[in-house]
Amino acid sequence: MPRYFIELAYKGTAYNGFQVQDTGNTIQSELQKALKTLFRVDFLLTGSSRTDSGVHAKQNYFHFDCDIELDPSRIYNLNAILPADIAVKGLYLVPGEAHCRFDAVAREYQYFIYREKNPFLADRAWLYPYPLNQDLLQEAAQIIIGYQDFTSFSKRNTQVKTFQCRIEASSWAMEGGLLVYTVKANRFLRGMVRGLVGTMVKMGRGQIDSAAFRAVIEGRDCTLADFSTPPQGLFLNRVYYNSEISGFLQPAG
């Protein structure tokens, strides 16, 4: 049976996360309803990356098997059915063994902070009106690259076999008046990016120094990190696949 990847972008403000769960509406449930409305059959979707309630994505994927021949032109019809805060960006026929979660080789997240009240950013960034030393934030971001065990930045009750993550890039920058943290890794733990940002902000405020920041990482204890960072500033920016699969993830024509 043919396998498809479907690429989405969404604003997560109104949703209780990406994948279907018992409580609240999700991105997956809305997409499944739209697919069934359009094609009159049920679709079993597998997600590439979980995002928490209120978190956004510029790119995320599901895969599914379907014996209906799906043409990329149907993207228009799907988008007409979906809510305004969810958009299908692509529909791709891929090899039958391709898996949108397990074949992902890296993911990139961005976290956005703004410094002055702005009603147009309130649901897409974190209002933080306090002084932050960008050099100290950058120092913290570089410290992270030297570690692989991120137990301290994983929320409780996370069912994973390992807390090892390989950080490929970690940096802060000013972009369009926003302070932006970008991090790329082979995998992320539940709550990891928000925990990193919250703890780095403490260093940027001068509340902890680099030695104390390292102590949080090396302590392997999630009570040491700061997870109070709000979800609306976080975006899943991109999901990376190896060249064999990414070659199929190109717009038709």
Active-site residues, by number, are 52
Contacts of 175 (CB under 8 A, 6+ apart): none
Burial 192-206 (b: 16+ CB within 10 A, else e): bbbbbbbbbbbbbee
Alpha helices in the chain (DSSP H): 27-39, 75-81, 134-145, 192-204, 210-219, 243-246
CA atoms within 13 A of residue 226's CA, in its CB half-sphere: 14
Q: Rounded to whole angstroms, how far apart are CA atoms 59 and 138?
A: 25
Among residues 200, 190, 185, which one has the least CA distance to residue 231? 190
Residue 137 CA, chain-centre distance (Å), reads: 21
CB atoms within 10 A of CB 99: 16
**CA pair distance 161, 14, nearest whole angstrom:** 31
